Amino acid sequence: PPVRGLRASPRARSAMPSWVIDRYGRNDVLRFTRDMVFPTIHFPNEVIIKVHAASLNPIDLSMRSGYGATALNMKRDPLKLKSADTEFPLTLGRDVSGVVMECGLSVSYFKPGDEVWAAIPPWKQGTLSEFVVASGNEVSFKPKCLSHTEAASLPYVGLTAWSAVNQVGGLNKSNCSGKRVLILGASGGVGTFAVQLVKAWGAHVTAVCSHDASTLMKKLGADDVIDYKSGNLEEQLKTLPLFDFILDNVGGSTEKWALDLLKKWSGATYVTLVTPFLINMDKLGVADGMLQTGVTVGSKTVKHLFKGVHYRWAFFMPSGPSLDEIAELVDSGKIQPVIDQVFSFSEVPKAFLKLEGGHARGKTVIDVISKK
């Protein structure tokens, strides 16, 4: 039997197939290679996963173009021990569903052969590869009722929505029943998950999307569906009763009027996933960018607190325990994957172009082990 420890894979391989970028830019920077360095377990809590399926998220488009590089490089090398930026060749892709191949010495929760899913944080090498390394606390057992292709569509958007709704917004299965929830940008990956999550917890859900997504929203459980193209969205929403919680996947001008739709002095909360944190650091550098970000969120929080509502920012947070809870909801039938299109591993550039085109209804998934 192979010796398990702090070393390379039991196969003792040195290279693997992967889609990488060597510089930031448009879609032509994507490059297929069979010589990507095989992942190595560096810490005793890590596992190596054979990737069966991955999926794309808007953050992959942003990272391909260099968005957030300053903050991510700081996270990769916080003590600046390396003489130059060494993020390249960089593998994109955050979602993975696959099989554990090897475990570090302190991993007792998983063993080789286990079917798992995870969302790999953006400062680590991604999942558009044959294998990927992850911390054990980022990994969870895959829902039994889903195929790898279906499972790969959920971890990143699920954890992003979970962070916004539960960890930042404070909603859970015991306090959500009967609350009025508004989801702006409901037909994307995070939106389709959030609609199902708060509906599973008993909320009344109003989903904002374009008309062609209204059937999908109703299928996922939305009580009211508002077409943002059918007139002034702000005026349409003002005709409805006030909300207890708003999740904003859109940002921009919506922030100027959306908070007026909340019930005042009742603990009502607005959470946005569109924040200037990474772009501030790209533009201003690490220290000034963090300072500017702190000033912005602090001033907005205080301003809205005086108006009787809570203003919050939310971010994706990797979490195996949260994925455990999501897996329970999936296996009980309360959350289902929403997949727009599946591409083979050879079609990764085409999948990026599909995502770049926008207007997807659900996720763009990559079947990594397909032989096409």
- Return d(Cα 314, Cα 247) in angstroms, integer: 10
126, 191: one domain: no
- The Cα 337–Cα 58 span in angstroms is 17
CATH number assigned to the domain comprising residue 116: 3.90.180.10
- The pLDDT of residue 12 is 58
Q: Are residues 36 and 93 in the same domain?
A: yes
Q: What is the reported pLDDT for 1?
A: 42
Same domain, 175 and 308: yes
Residue 5, pLDDT score: 44
- Cα Rg, the chain, nearest whole Å: 21
Strand partners, 344: 367
- Residue 368, pLDDT score: 97
CA–CA separation, 11 and 206 (whole Å): 51
Q: Does 136 share its domain with 230? A: no
From residue 124, alpha-carbon distances to 39, 65, 119 in Å are 11, 17, 11
The angle at the Cα of 258, spanning 235 to 227, to the nearest 5 degrees, equals: 50
Across the beta sheet with 90-91, the strand order is: 30-37, 15-21, 90-91
- Position 346 in a domain: yes
Question: Is 237 found in the same domain as 140?
Answer: no
What angle (nearest 5°) sits at the alpha carbon of residue 244, between those of residues 239 and 248? Answer: 80
* CB-CB neighbours of 80 under 10 Å: 8
Q: Which of 58, 150, 157, 19 lies closest to 355 in space, CA to CA? A: 58
What confidence tens digit (pLDDT) does each residue in 278-307 have? 787 878 887 888 888 888 888 988 889 989
Does any domain span residue 163? no
How far is 6 from 1, CA to CA, in rounded Å? 16
pLDDT at 73: 87
Which amino acid type is present at position 260?
D
75 within domain boundaries: yes
Rounded Cα–Cα distance for residues 33 and 18 (Å): 6
- Answer yes or no: do 35 and 150 share one domain: yes
- pLDDT, position 83: 61
| Residue that is last in its domain, among 298, 313, 328 | 313
Q: Would you state the torsion angle of the CA atoms of residues 84, 90, 94, 95, taken in this order, to the nearest 10 degrees?
A: -150
Q: Is 175 found in the same domain as 147?
A: no
Q: Is 174 in the same domain as 228?
A: yes
* Cross-strand partners of 312: 271
Domain that holds residue 112: 15-154+338-367
- CATH code of residue 237: 3.40.50.720
- Count how many domains the chain has: 2
The Cα 201–Cα 219 span in angstroms is 16
Mean pLDDT per 10-residue interval, the chain, length 372 residues: 45 85 97 96 97 97 93 84 78 98 97 98 97 98 98 98 98 97 96 98 97 96 96 96 97 95 98 86 82 86 92 96 98 97 97 92 93 56
Any idea what DSSP says for residue 191? Answer: H
Predicted pLDDT of residue 4: 43
Tell me whether residue 328 is in a domain: no
Q: Are residues 106 and 188 in the same domain?
A: no
Q: Using DSSP, state whether 119 is helix, strand or coil.
A: strand
Buried b (16+ CB within 10 A) or exposed e, 237-247: beeeeebbbbb
Does residue 53 sit within a domain?
A: yes
Residue 188 maps to a domain:
yes
Tokens (6 digits) for 315: 């971010």
Tell me: do 35 and 104 sit in the same domain: yes
* Stretch (H or E) spanning 268: none
| 72 occurs within a structural domain | yes
For residue 1, tell me if it sits in a domain: no
d(CA 151, CA 143): 7
Which DSSP state fits 29? G
Q: Are residues 136 and 195 both part of a single domain?
A: no
Question: How far is the C-alpha of 28 from the C-alpha of 23, rounded, in Å?
Answer: 10
Q: What are phi and psi of 34, to 5 degrees?
A: -100, 5
180 and 142 co-located in one domain: no
